[in-house]
């Protein structure tokens, strides 16, 4: 893959998709431009909460599919 080609990445803190590398962007390989300036202690809590919300959303989807099949 050429170095100049942009990739779509998912931010570890907020879960949003962003282009990487972006021209004059502060985004890193793991953080979008908005989250790169969040203090590490806060970002850590946000990552934990985002993973928990994602897991709960998957459980709700799974339960919804089970209800439809009954």
Q: How many domains does the chain have?
A: 1
Whether 34 maps to a domain, the answer reads yes
Whether 1 maps to a domain, the answer reads no
pLDDT band with cut points at 50, 70 and 90 for residue 1: very low
> CB 25: neighbour CB atoms within 10 A?
13
**pTM value?**
0.73
pLDDT for the residue 22: 84
pLDDT tens across 9-62, in order? 999 999 999 999 888 889 999 999 999 999 999 999 999 999 999 999 999 999
Whether 62 maps to a domain, the answer reads yes
**Residue 58 lies in domain:** 7-69
pLDDT for the residue 4: 57
Whether 40 maps to a domain, the answer reads yes
Contact 32, 11 (CB under 8 A): yes
């Amino acid at each position: 893959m050429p170095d100049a080609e942009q990739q779509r990445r998912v931010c570890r803190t907020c879960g949003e998709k962003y282009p990487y590398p972006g021209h004059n962007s502060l985004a890193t390989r793991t953080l979008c431009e908005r989250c790169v300036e969040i203090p590490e202690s806060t970002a850590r809590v946000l990552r934990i909460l985002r993973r928990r919300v994602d897991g709960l959303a998957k459980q709700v989807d799974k339960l919804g599919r089970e209800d439809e099949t009954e």
